[in-house]
Amino acid sequence: MHTTIALVISTLVLSAYAQSDSITLSGGASETTQSPTATGADYATSGTTYADESSVLTITGSTDYATISDLSSIFATSNGTATSISSHRGNETTSSPTQTLLVGSARTTTSLNGTAATNGTASSTSTSAQPTNTVPCNGHPALCNRKFSNITHVGAHNSPFVRPGNIAANQELDVETQLNDGIRMLQFQAHLQNDTIYLCHTSCDLLNVGTLEDYLTTVARWLRGHPYDVIAILIGNYDVINPMNFTAPVTNSGLIDFVYTPPTQPMPLESWPTLAEMIFRNTRAVVMLDYEANQTAIPWLLDEFSQMWETPFSPTDRDFPCTPQRPPDQERPVRQNRMFMANHNLNLEVAAAGLSIDVPFFTLLNETNADQGYGSAAAAVANCTTMWDRPPTFLLVDYYNIGNFNGSVFQSAADANGVPYDRASCCGTAGTTNDGNPLHTIADLRWYLAIFMVVYWTSTS
């Protein structure tokens, strides 16, 4: 009992410290102030291996998207309107509205801050007159004929970890709200406890938000209700366990109805299908595992680092260098032909209950998630675009709803994609004030701390 209360107290104290601009270290003859520069790993660091890039695995039974040469014959009727797409699971049926779907457009190149090209549209597949698209794929009609690998998707770092006042929380709004607001990558850690996969941050004693199956059930339900949306799910195999442990949660949740199976491992940029193709086949969930994936045994559970690389994880440097970290020792030409994820969540390393954990740097969220300025999401996208001649495929952020305006990270992604963004569309209201700042301020935490201190001393007296 005392241990649990002490853990709660230390969590609250460290959460308050994490929202300060600096940490005051006591001890010795004087106190010193240290800027947040240390880093703690937020992923498995031992027993990990990377796939051999020298060989290509051909996956049988996957969809040959190359045979889909003219989407107008699939999505559009003779009068230029789209046919309805139905998704079936059990006795449930959901149908999309009848609308017109994009079937081809000319390739365009635009500049980003006058330095490098943004994501371009897909090449035209026909010279004949094409119907006008009105269907928003992932929120925008212009993205329907764009390859999945040729879009910047905003990702929620540690998406399930929503718990006000907890040091291990990284988001403020639940996963359904995240998806409604435009999050298209869900990233998180998974831990095996008593033969069940739970979603925990570093340790299940620190933050446990429930089972992977329950979380994926919510995601699958959302996908059934949104037939024109494609998402990615990135699972951190923190315990480096056998990948077969992940099949039951995906199957039992219903997510298996939507999983995408690639034709090869690894996947070059041009091998990815367009959003329209994935929507037509209803393979709208790209599920990846960072370590121990075996696509020979489980073709739809993709090996993350065969598909993409990452910039430094849980970064503490406000410059956010777009240099590769994982996988290591990969040649530049290989990286240029893979998707990549920019980890754009500024962190501070703290210790709690004998654990080292990275926590969001709260006081800089409005700048870190901004669409302009030093250390902003927009600056990170521009830097990556300059270094790699294309924007990042995924932009991973903490507290996506907070910025220089609510949802400013989506503006940065929209600019990279060359599409407009409706600022009024974001964000969910739970847990935020009118100015977009977190409700769990230092004052709130001190109040909770005072309450728990009373409980603690009462229990020990």
**Three-state SS sequence of 220-255:** HHHHHHCCCCCEEEEEEECCCCCHHHHHHHHHHHCH
Nearest CA to 9 out of 434, 459, 383 is that of 459
Contact between residue 269 and residue 307 where contact means Cβ atoms under 8 Å apart: no
pLDDT of residue 397: 96
C-alpha dihedral (230, 315, 218, 283), degrees to nearest 10: 20
**In CATH, what class is 39-69+151-439?**
alpha beta
Q: What is the DSSP letter of 309?
A: E
- Residue 2 among the catalytic residues: no
Residue 46 identity:
S
CA distance 287 to 300: 7
Nearest CA to 413 out of 109, 101, 112 is that of 112
CA distance 461 to 180: 49
Cα dist. 37→41, 315, 366 in Å?
13, 9, 19
- Residue 191 among the catalytic residues: no
Q: What is the largest CA-CA distance in the chain?
A: 83
Q: Provide the whole-model pTM.
A: 0.77
Tell me the two tokens of residue 240: 């480096």
CA distance 168 to 162: 9
Say which of 140, 157, 191, 344 is annotated catalytic.
Answer: 157
CB atoms within 10 A of CB 160: 30
**Nearest-5° angle of CA 269, CA 327, CA 58?**
50
Nearest CA to 226 out of 163, 162, 181 is that of 181
CA distance 282 to 87: 8
CA distance 243 to 222: 25
Contact between residue 448 and residue 12 where contact means Cβ atoms under 8 Å apart: yes
Tell how strand 185-193 and strand 231-237 pair up: parallel
Contact between residue 366 and residue 436 where contact means Cβ atoms under 8 Å apart: yes
Is the Cα torsion angle 382, 385, 386, 387 positive or negative in sign? positive
Tell me the two tokens of residue 22: 């600096």
Tell me the two tokens of residue 284: 């709208």
CA distance 16 to 14: 5
pLDDT of residue 347: 85
CB atoms within 10 A of CB 77: 13
Say which of 140, 153, 191, 201 is annotated catalytic.
Answer: 201
Q: Within the chain, which residues score under 50 in pLDDT?
A: 1-40, 66-70, 72-116, 122-127, 430-461
pLDDT of residue 135: 82
